[in-house]
Amino acid sequence: MSCFDGCLSFLRCRRRLVLVRHGESEYNVHYAKHHSDPGNVWDSPLTALGERQAEELRPRLAQHSVQLAVSSPLTRAIQTCLLALPKSKGRHMVTALASEHMEASCDIGRPASRLRAAFPEVDFGELPEVWWYVPDGHEGITEEESHRLFKEEGRREGRAAFERRVECFARWLEQRPEKVIAIFAHADFFNCFLHKFFGDQAKFQDYWMKNCELLELSFTTLTPKAPPVKAQRPSVSEVHPAHPPHANHHHHQAKPGKAAEALEALRQDLARQKPQLKNSELRALAAKEWKAMSLEARRRLMEVA
């Protein structure tokens, strides 16, 4: 094979991804106002502004000749997908692999049967009735019990389990035959995906997409390009006050540097919740919240950092 033929073969193997974060959701609005999760905003839909943001993407997506649109099963992502890329423009399908890191009530979705009724134009394939994160030992769980575990026991999807799911999504993508795929998903999901598979580019080592932001990427294979995120530990939102880790260790002394690690964990958690802020703004906000914390709250945070 000549160099020219080899180059041509390589180019033919390259595929394109169009990443789209969902539009503004009702949970986004609540959190921006109250800076907290009310604990019952299940499967938060788009706001009227979020719908307009999605519709405004149509001309840009029309330029990409999308062959397949893949969405998270969360309502805000499906709505964004259908508004930005109407059904007549290509195939639409859903996979639970692309759902958001389950850390807030808005990240617990609706059963597959209700989603199929709400969005008949979408291919849900073999999506399980309860498709979102379920703690070990709770297989066959109901929607109501899942809500209870979240609210009363603080059950969240661990970081390691979440990252494994992102890697499974990448393997699934590699097996798809389409050359241009649009993915409609979420801030934390895309942050992890970009870090793992495009982290050799400085821009994507800690990149947080804004509502209805669009990114175009190309790849031949999805091979991890960066080491795991340093914070392979529960995030601030995973530490439930009813079950603080090591709660009986009242005289625990933090190791040198633990405060700095806890402050960084706080910054990363704020980055997930406020992707519109710059790093300098996030650091200032993290410092402000750290100063406002009680000594007990700081100690708990340092123990999981």
The pLDDT value given to residue 212: 97
Radius of gyration of the chain (CA): 20
What predicted TM-score, i.e. pTM, was given to this entire model?
A: 0.73
Contact 84, 92 (CB under 8 A): no
State yes or no: pLDDT of 21 exceeds 70: yes
To the nearest 10°, report the CA torsion of 11, 213, 273, 78. Answer: -90
Residues 40-80 pLDDT 10s: 999 999 999 999 999 999 999 999 999 999 999 999 999 99
CB burial of residue 305 (10 Å; 0-12, 13-18, 19+): buried
Mean pLDDT of 241-268: 49
- What are the domain boundaries of the chain? 10-219, 236-304
Q: Could you tell me the CATH superfamily of domain 10-219?
A: Phosphoglycerate mutase-like (3.40.50.1240)
Amino acid at 245: P
- Look at 42 and 225; give whichever has higher pLDDT: 42
Mean pLDDT of 125-153: 88
H or E element: which one contains 292?
helix 279-292
CB burial of residue 260 (10 Å; 0-12, 13-18, 19+): exposed
Query: Cα separation of 252 and 237, whole Å?
Result: 22
- The least confident of 82-86, 178-182, 219-223 is 219-223
Mean pLDDT of 224-245: 44
State yes or no: pLDDT of 283 exceeds 80: no
Residues 90-118 pLDDT 10s: 689 999 999 999 999 999 999 999 999 99
The pLDDT value given to residue 291: 65
